[in-house]
Structure 1
Amino acid sequence: MSHETQIILDRVVLVKVDANIYGARKKLKKEDLVLADGSKLPPEDLASLGSKRLLDPDKLTVFNRLKKEAERICLRVGTRFLGGFAVPVESAASITAELERIGLDFAAAKTEFIAGYDAAVTDWVVRHPEFAGIIEQAVDSVEFVSTRLSFDFLVVSVGLPDSLAPADVARLESKIGSLSEQMFYEISVEANQLIEQSLLGKEQVTRNALRPIRRMRDKLDGLGFLDHRVAPVVSTIDDLLARIPNKGAIEGGLLQEILATAMLLSDPDKTRRHGEGLLATQLPVIDDETEEVIEYAKSEPPAVLVVPTAPTPVITESAADSPDFTDLFDGIFDDELEAETVTTSDDWALDILLEKCQTDLKTGNDTDESNPSEHSAEPATVTAGDDEEADDSDQDYWF
């Protein structure tokens, strides 16, 4: 088993939710039907008769609701895995507490349902008197129904036995490797719901619209160890949330940024490419500049490396002093690598993000120029040729 796989297994627990709900249905038989003269039922290999309800399905709604609530609680911080949910170890205690509460609610609902089971069946027969016979002959006993209503959960760690065959190890590693893909998919589902239900066509929204974004942010942050591209996406969301006013309606440019953020999160591929693009502009750039300084020092006499007494325009515009977002999101909002393939909706979102990016760049440059002592402490490592090449790059994108 690879080191990366072991790290993931050490940081998650598997939560299995076991909720059994009585269906109150029985298979419909031919003798249950009263056919008109000359009518004929299709053979069983062509069509099945379906099922018949034994009581009002609304009586069972509470159990289905509790089961879905338990799943939502697990999905809030975890992702589907091996028939359960992979949840960060640090979240296991809070998840367990909430599932225990649901277990108590389920037990109380079961007690109430069992107490009123006979009355519910009788009421169903009264509502369908012409079919009373086929209902009554299929009714289950209250003891049997009680065994078909249960809620429980299990929290376990996942590991591999020492003697496991290589093929089985590879199979588990494949499942673990798909965890990040499942996580991004679940985020996209929630983001699409946010867009459809709360953002599209709105000129302003309340702060309630931020709740889904915060949930998605917290889920990504908690499961960030599944994919190295998650951390930059979380930072992008944090930057947006930090600029939201503490009260009042959200409208204008901020609302458009929220919509653009949700649109990005609604596409798993673009979310991954966004995080990868941000990472590509961080550590690799610093390493390249370090190597350039070393080569320059070796090839030039020491006198050339004397720091000037005042900062020059070249220094203030260097990549080390002013963050350069060139090519940051190149290719993220279009499925093809050519600019002309960007759709109208992508252009709209990019225009919003570009305007914010240009404002940040202007602010950043002004800040750099106001502190010349910081520039004069470092050698000039970027040549005029480097600046020209950066100017010819594709349009910057901010998110």
Structure 2
Amino acid sequence: MSNTIQVAEQVVCINIDCSIWSGRKKLTPADFKNLESDSLPPSDLASLGSKKICNPDALRDFDTLKKEAHREAAKVGIRFLGGYAVPSSKAAALGVLLDDVRERFNAARDTFVAEYDDEIEAWISKHPGWENSIRAAIPTVSHVEGRISFDYQAFEIKADGIASAGLERAVGGLADQLYLEVSKEAFNLYDVSICGKPHATQRTLRPLHSIRNKLEGLSFIDPKVTHVISMIDHVLMAMPTSGKIEGASLSMLTGIVLTLSDAERIKACAEGMMNGASAATVLNLSDDDEVTDDVQQGADTAASPAIIDFGNLFAAPVTQTAGQHPMLIQQNSAPADAAQQADATVVAAAPTAPDPLNIVSQEPVPPMANTFGIGIVGTGSLAF
């Protein structure tokens, strides 16, 4: 059985199906009673947009619940086939959370439907002079109720049934998708909670723990994932258990978050650990004794994998504005001598054969010996 099939059979695909009435209608020339129709721009130049026929605040709970559902799915899964690939071991717990969201969503819908007429009248009274324009666009309550719904579907991929090279490529690309999502979450953590801050707090560590837990659940996707977890654990264990995070601890935290904010850097560091380097070495942390021991142990392996030394990136304060990716920052000072220049060297890994399942590869994908089928697990109320 190929690794791709093994990965596919360890995930449950969750599709969140949520529909929310917009509370808007398209504007028409008739809405502009004081404006001559020939004064309006032609349709090929500009569209009239839309008008709000209901208070947006009355619909806000639905959008909040939809975002909550996607947030909970993203904590344990990664985007896949329009939904989420979730580890089988965590699908049932996610199903419980989604069931709860569905119940609250339906309760909010029932309340909105019951108060629909009053909401509309209140909105009309708030906009005198536009009563006829709003009333002419009001749909029936049954129409609105049918446009507000929440549910989810779960299905598994089986190694038989419909042949699909595209599906196999999608499964083969799950590892890249995982690293991409981790890098986005890490950069957001850096940008919001670390960049420009004199210290971090214990709360700053929560997103890092979330990233770690997500990686742990999806570690079967790629052998490198376990080494990424080890890097995170190495830093988390060195963090103070209370109070501010500053000084050397803040430098370590910044280092791991910046490493995680770049998908290619994640993979390079993990490959270094797969070839015998420690987390301290690949992260270039400041524990001299530990780093020295690792370098000495690896002295016999001249052709060791990519170990990236980012010492120069963290050695001096960097001026950065929020939202600027840390990988694009230029240091103000160059290495002073040849030894420092050597420290900045990136040792490239030996080239490897192209992976035919790499979704970013431009090479044609040969016919697959294995085939996939999709087995429906159910709609809502997961039980595994």
TM range (shorter): 0.7 to 0.9
Equivalent positions of 1:319-398 (< 5 A) are 322=297, 330-331=307-308, 347-349=312-314, 395=343
Q: How does 1:69-148 map to 2 (within 5 A)?
A: 69-148=68-147
Q: CA deviation at 1:280?
A: 2.5
Equivalents in 1 of 2:48, 2:233: separation in Å?
A: 55
Q: Distance in 2 between matches of 1:4 and 1:22?
A: 43
C-alpha displacement of 1:161: 4.1
- 3-state SS of 1:204 partner: coil
Structure 2 counterpart of 1:79, one-letter code: I
How do 1:153-192 residues align onto structure 2 when only pairs under 5 Å count? 153-159=152-158, 161-162=160-161, 164-165=162-163, 169-192=164-187
Determine if contact 2:309/2:343 at 8 Å carries over to the other structure: no
Conserved 8 A contact 1:270-1:332 = no
Q: Is the 8 A contact 2:5 2:159 kept in 1?
A: no
TM-score, structure 1 as length reference: 0.71
Decide whether aligned partners of structure 1 residues 160 and 133 sit closer, same or farther in structure 2, where only a CA change above 3 A counts: farther
Structure 1 residue 330, shift from structure 2 partner: 3.5
What are the superposed Cα offsets for residues 157-178 of structure 1, whole Å, 9 maximum, x if unpaired?
A: 122543x34xxx2111111122
Structure 2 equivalent of residue 250 of structure 1: 245
Deviation per CA, 1:165-198, whole angstroms, max 9, x where unpaired?
4xxx211111112211211111111111111111
Secondary structure of the structure 2 residue equivalent to 1:205: coil
Match of 1:209 in 2: 204
Question: Aligned in 2, Cα 1:137/1:214: closer, same or farther, shift over 3 Å?
Answer: same
Structure 1 unmatched ranges of 5 or more: 284-316, 334-345, 353-390
AA in 1 matched with 2:78:
T
In structure 1, distance between residues paired with 2:315 and 2:214: 25
Corresponding residue for 2:263? 268
Gaps of 5+ in 2: 279-291, 318-338, 346-384
Measured after TM superposition, the shift of residue 221 of structure 1 is: 1.5
User: Could you tell me how far apart the structure 2 residues matched to 1:211 and 1:187 are?
Assistant: 14
Q: 2:89, 2:276 → 1: CA distance?
A: 31
- Distance of 1:332 and 1:34 partners within structure 2: 68
Q: Distance in 1 between matches of 2:37 and 2:139?
A: 34
Could you tell me which residue of structure 1 aligns to residue 223 of structure 2?
Answer: 228
Higher relative contact order (CA 8 A, sep 6+): 2
Deviation, structure 1 residue 38: 8.9
Partner AA of 1:95 in structure 2: L
Where 1:26 maps in the other structure, the secondary structure is strand
Distance 1:160-1:43 versus aligned 2 partners, 3 A rule: farther
Distance 1:176 1:278, change over 3 A: same
What is the distance in 1 between the residues matched to 2:182 and 2:172? 17
| Structure ID, larger Rg | 1
Amino acid at match of 2:124: V
Three-state SS of the structure 1 residue aligned to 2:151 is: strand
Mapped contact 2:175–2:222 kept (Cα < 8 A) = yes
Q: 2: CA distance between counterparts of 1:350 and 1:190?
A: 24
* Shift of residue 92, structure 1, vs aligned partner: 0.8
The alpha carbon displacement at 1:8 in A equals 0.8
Change (3 A) 1:319 1:193: closer
CA RMSD in angstroms comes to 2.9
Letter in 2 for 1:347: N
Alignment partners' CA distance in 2, 1:211 and 1:323: 34
Q: CA deviation at 1:36?
A: 3.9
Alignment partner of 1:330: what SS? coil
| Aligned mates of 2:131, 2:251 — CA distance in 1 | 59
Q: Which residue of 1 aligns with 2:188?
A: 193
Between Structure 1 and Structure 2, how many residues are aligned? 308
The secondary structure found in structure 1 opposite 2:40 is coil
Distance 1:47 1:321, change over 3 A: closer
Distance in 2 (alpha carbons) for counterparts of 1:65 and 1:200? 28
Output one character per residue of 1:310-352: Cα deviation in whole Å (capped at 9) or x when no partner. xxxxxxx99899466986653475xxxxxxxxxxxx7232689
Partner of 1:5: 4
Contact 2:23 2:53 in 1 (8 A): yes
Closer, same or farther: CA 318–217 of 1 in aligned 2, 3 Å: closer
The answer to whether the Cα contact below 8 Å between 1:328 and 1:396 also exists between their aligned partners in 2 is no
SS of the residue corresponding to residue 157 of structure 1 reads strand
Cα shift readout 1:45-79 (whole Å, capped 9, x = no counterpart): 22211111111111111100100110010110100
* SS of equivalent residue, structure 2 residue 152: strand
Return the structure number with greater helix share.
1
**Segment of structure 1 superposing worse, 226-235 or 83-92:** 226-235
Partner Cα distance (2:233, 2:295) in 1: 24
Shift of 1:42: 2.1
Q: Deviations over 1:349-393 (max 9, x none)?
A: 2689xxxxxxxxxxxxxxxxxxxxxxxxxxxxxxxxxxxxxx9x9
Matched residue SS, 2:158: coil
1:290 corresponds to which residue?
none
The 1:318–1:108 alpha-carbon spacing in structure 2 relative to 1, beyond 3 Å, is closer
Shift in alpha-carbon separation, 1:141–1:320, aligned structure 2, 3 A: closer
